[in-house]
Amino acid sequence: QNHAKVAVLGASGGIGQPLSLLLKNSPLVSRLTLYDIAHTPGVAADLSHIETRANVKGFLGPEQLPECLKGCDVVVIPAGVPRKPGMTRDDLFNTNASIVATLTSACAKHCPEAMICIISNPVNSTIPITSEVFKKHGVYNPNRIFGVTTLDIVRANTFVAELKGLDPARVSVPVIGGHAGKTIIPLISQCTPKVDFPQDQLEKLTGRIQEAGTEVVKAKAGAGSATLSMAYAGARFVFSLVDAMNGKEGVTECAFVRSEETESPYFSTPLLLGKNAIEKNLGIGKISPFEEKMVAEAMSELKASIKKGEEFAKNFK
């Protein structure tokens, strides 16, 4: 049942190109439609020569967007502008909010049943925007709209593995909350295999996971933010989603979704994925006092970012 039709919106960008390459390389994808406001014909022509079965087509500009979306099972949206040194993810709001609202509006019209995976930052606001847009069109299903936080999990796995001399492929750290700074809450206490760190090292590790995006922004010195690791994480999330849609049992991923788990209306926790996207929210589970404190301290920032997104969507024409 490996016939997933996947669209990438923002396919010519820093994340979009490597993400499209990883999707083209997968036997799970049968059709790959690429959209952007520039360069997509070239990116599509280039990828189309790769000896895998996904059929690749490029679409350029707003008038070609409906055609790109028709019949899609999954839509991934990395479109928007990246951070420069000194910027927070929230500084991207003014530009990226409009881009996400416009693109998700087209999704609501042309592929209302598709799984929508949002990478565009600030995710803590762009997911509420997407939900409100889908509500406006009368096609909202909270089980099908995901904020991709997978890079936080990938980073947590990598950093824990480095510190403990483990194979990162065998390490699994749930990361809950949101996708910015203090709202990123790695649950090291739930890591498999079980790991222990002294408190000072735990705090340093947690801080590094929370600020890992900024680490890359600084290292790139103005040339953008995390693109390659984000493309990897985005592809990992899409493959999990497609596996689950194909009937694979026990697929779990964390993602920023509509949630009843905390007082925040959106919150990332481990999710059991299935044929209908979210089969079950697995919740926070048992956490340490240190982690409980982080959850409590994330609430005001999370709620403010969510409200900002919702207000924007209400006024967006």
Angle at which helices 150-164 and 228-245 cross, to 10°: 110
89 is in an annotated binding site: yes
115 is in an annotated binding site: no
Residues labelled catalytic: 179
12 is in an annotated binding site: yes
10 is in an annotated binding site: yes
14 is in an annotated binding site: yes
170 is in an annotated binding site: no
119 is in an annotated binding site: yes
Contact between 59 and 37 under an 8 Å Cβ cutoff? The reply is no
147 is in an annotated binding site: no
Tokens of 299: 């609430």
222 is in an annotated binding site: no
230 is in an annotated binding site: yes
16 is in an annotated binding site: yes
* Residues in binding site for NAD(+): 10-16, 36, 96, 119-121, 230
* Residues in binding site: 10-16, 36, 83, 89, 96, 119-121, 155, 230
* Residues in binding site for substrate: 83, 89, 121, 155
